[in-house]
């Protein structure tokens, strides 16, 4: 039996997951769960980075001191785009910002005024979003950031924690590819773009593949946590979506995936990047996956909309579980209102803002939480249909099956909506795809597994899957026509 520890840090919470592999099967056990709550200061919105590091160490203590287990590997995956800047002494020169920080507002337009959109896309193949690392860095440059002036190294969030674990400053390729300054065709940093924008090339470090052995934990970490000092630390697919896609249990061609959580990442897996005018027009993105694959995908506002509504209702004294919200949504009247999920980017007052959106678009306003949740879930399903049709157009081939993985795969109401809206078979699971992918890529790195085919076979043998067939599709066609008429022009 081989044991690997996966730290999976999402935008809402983090977990330490113990993965045990034996007889071709993987068992996962959650050892430690913790909140990932951003901190708003007068200067902006930040991640509570030191708290996250404390929780990582606590997860290691649970393994070593409480469970008294040895590990064959440790790896960390996180959300994409956000980064830390280090000085010459290896210390943080500023606390990492949150991708929803308001300093990024309007930055896509300013970026494209400096370098044409087509040129940026030719270098990077990445969709344009104001949260991208390139926009964040350009915002710092325009503001004359002292941190950017003195920084000597940029590490993305999982790279930072890997550095604190091992003392090794390396950048893993799947997380680098979310930045909009990595070139997936040339497999290197897009240094020409950096120079055009007047950004410091010196901060760009060595890139390594998913499954790379970084080294043992630092002596101080071993002493603090009780780990064996020879415990190896690997880069997994450090972008959480890349780990999740590695664990998609596909066994035939003609599939796409939705990694469903705070964000919905919907796309296909390719052998090479697809960078052309049509992909730019659809605003799709080419991110690197495990084993050198390319994830051609669309980044869609996901269940964060439900999370924000739930948070707003809790502030009013009404606490609902996600299961309750899904049940209420399933019981509410269909197609009261549809929204464009991607216009709601910034946090705060989401039920009120959705209601305002519905008024502006001449629709019936969802009044009750169940009605609001149903509108959100229906609208997500319609958005998935829109992206699916775009992918089929780009690829010139049909997509027969949609695999939904991640925490959102447990929302059976949404799963059925997706099948109905798209007219495709939906296969849901595993819910713990990111943790499974994290562990299994460590197993690849250590030589236990040979490649993605082995990884996906272990997933199929290890986790129950649920299938949803389309039904009532005609009712969705009218709603889809209404959804498409909305466009994305109404502000959230």
CA distance 443 to 236: 9
Q: At what angle do helices 117-124 and 107-114 cross, to 10 degrees?
A: 90
The alpha carbon torsion through 443, 459, 30, 418 (nearest 10 deg) reads 140
Which candidate in 101, 159, 240, 420 is catalytic?
A: 240
Q: Report how far residue 133's alpha carbon sits from residue 294's, in angstroms, rounded to the nearest whole number.
A: 19
SS3 label, residue 478: helix
Start-to-end C-alpha separation, the chain: 50
Element (H, E) at 45: strand 44-46
Q: What is the DSSP string of 455-484?
A: HHHHHHHHS--EEE----HHHHHHHHHHHH
Active site residue 240: yes
- Four-point Cα dihedral 438, 441, 442, 445, nearest 10: -160
How many whole angstroms separate alpha carbon 229 and alpha carbon 484? 57
Could you tell me the two tokens for 370?
Answer: 């169940």
CA gap 248, 429 in Å, rounded: 8
Q: How far apart are CA 323 and CA 321, in angstroms?
A: 5
Instruction: Note if the bond before 430 is cis, omega within 30 degrees.
Output: yes
Q: Are 77 and 7 in contact (CB under 8 A)?
A: yes
**232, 165 contact by CB (below 8 A):** no
The two beta strands, 73-78 and 2-9, are parallel
Contact 381, 418 (CB under 8 A): yes
Report, as residue numbers or ranges, the catalytic residues: 240
């Amino acid at each position: 039996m081989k044991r690997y520890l996966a730290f999976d840090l999402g935008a809402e919470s983090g977990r330490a997951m113990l993965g045990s592999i034996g007889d071709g099967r993987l068992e996962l056990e959650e050892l430690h769960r913790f909140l990932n709550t951003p901190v708003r200061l007068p200067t902006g919105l930040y991640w509570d980075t030191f708290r996250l590091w404390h929780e990582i160490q606590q997860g290691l203590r649970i393994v070593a001191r409480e469970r008294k287990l040895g590990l064959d590997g440790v790896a960390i995956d996180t959300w994409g785009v956000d980064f830390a800047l280090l000085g010459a002494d290896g210390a943080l020169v500023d606390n990492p910002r949150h991708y929803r920080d308001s300093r990024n507002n309007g930055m896509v337009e300013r970026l494209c005024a400096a370098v044409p959109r087509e040129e940026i896309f030719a270098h990077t193949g990445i969709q344009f979003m104001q949260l991208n690392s390139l926009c964040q860095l350009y915002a710092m440059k325009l503001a004359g950031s002292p941190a950017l002036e003195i920084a000597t190294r940029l590490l993305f969030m999982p790279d930072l924690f890997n550095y604190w674990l091992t003392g090794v400053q390396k950048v893993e390729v799947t997380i680098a590819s979310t930045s909009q300054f990595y070139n997936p065709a040339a497999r290197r940093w897009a240094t020409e773009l950096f120079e055009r924008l007047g950004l410091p090339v010196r901060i760009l470090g060595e890139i390594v593949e998913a499954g790379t052995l970084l080294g043992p934990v630092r002596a101080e970490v071993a002493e603090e946590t009780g780990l064996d000092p020879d415990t190896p630390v690997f880069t997994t697919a450090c972008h959480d979506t890349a780990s999740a896609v590695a664990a998609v249990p596909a066994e035939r061609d003609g599939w796409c995936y939705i990694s469903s959580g705070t964000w919905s990442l919907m796309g296909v897996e390719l052998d090479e990047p697809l960078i052309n005018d049509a992909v730019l027009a659809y605003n799709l993105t080419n991110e690197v996956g495990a084993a050198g694959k390319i994830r051609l995908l669309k980044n869609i506002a996901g269940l964060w909309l439900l999370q924000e509504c739930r948070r707003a209702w809790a502030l009013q004294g009404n606490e609902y579980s996600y299961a309750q919200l899904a049940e209420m949504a399933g019981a509410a009247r269909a197609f009261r209102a549809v929204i464009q999920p991607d216009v709601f980017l910034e946090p705060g007052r989401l039920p009120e803002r959705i209601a305002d959106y519905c008024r502006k678009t001449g629709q019936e306003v969802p009044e009750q939480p169940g009605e609001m949740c149903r509108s959100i879930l229906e609208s997500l399903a319609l958005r998935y249909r829109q992206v699916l049709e775009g992918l089929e157009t780009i690829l010139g081939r049909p997509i027969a099956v949609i695999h939904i993985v991640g925490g959102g795969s447990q929302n059976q109401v949404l799963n059925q909506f997706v099948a109905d809206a798209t007219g495709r078979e939906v296969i849901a699971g595993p819910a713990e795809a990111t943790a499974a992918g994290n562990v299994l890529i460590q197993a690849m790195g250590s030589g236990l597994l040979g490649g993605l085919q082995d990884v996906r076979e272990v997933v199929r043998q290890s986790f129950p899957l649920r299938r949803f067939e389309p039904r009532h599709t005609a009712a969705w066609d009218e709603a889809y026509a209404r959804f498409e008429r909305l466009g994305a022009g109404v502000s959230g």
